Amino acid sequence: MENKTFKFLDARAVNKENPETFHVPSTFELKAIEIGDNVKVCIWDEHNQPERLWVEITAINRIDGGSFQGELNNVPLGLEPLKYRDTLVFGPENILDIMKSF
């Protein structure tokens, strides 16, 4: 699945504009992400409708600002053709929340 159809929210930019009401993981928390953890991202569809999704991390690239690859861990409601377990690639700036695996 390519990301061309979808636009990811830049959570860091939104946090910078609204630091009191829009919280994002710290740099320390982002660096502690491991394979198997789940992270929340927000994607807009072609009709500019946002949807927040959980993604299970399957690969991490920590070079040049870093990127993450993961599989969708819930069923998207309005992001066709995106579906459960599809692969997404995104940056740390796109992460809204982290759920550590135990």
pLDDT class of 4 with cuts at 50, 70, 90: very low
pLDDT higher at 70 or 46: 70
pLDDT, position 3: 45
45 CB contacts (<8 Å, ≥6 apart)?
A: 5, 6, 51, 78, 79, 80
Domains, the chain, with CATH or none: 7-99 (2.30.30.140)
Question: Which of 85, 83, 61 lies closest to 73, judged by CA?
Answer: 85
| % the chain with pLDDT above 90 | 73
Res 68 pLDDT > 90: yes
Mean per-residue pLDDT, 9-15 = 93
Mean per-residue pLDDT, 84-90 = 95
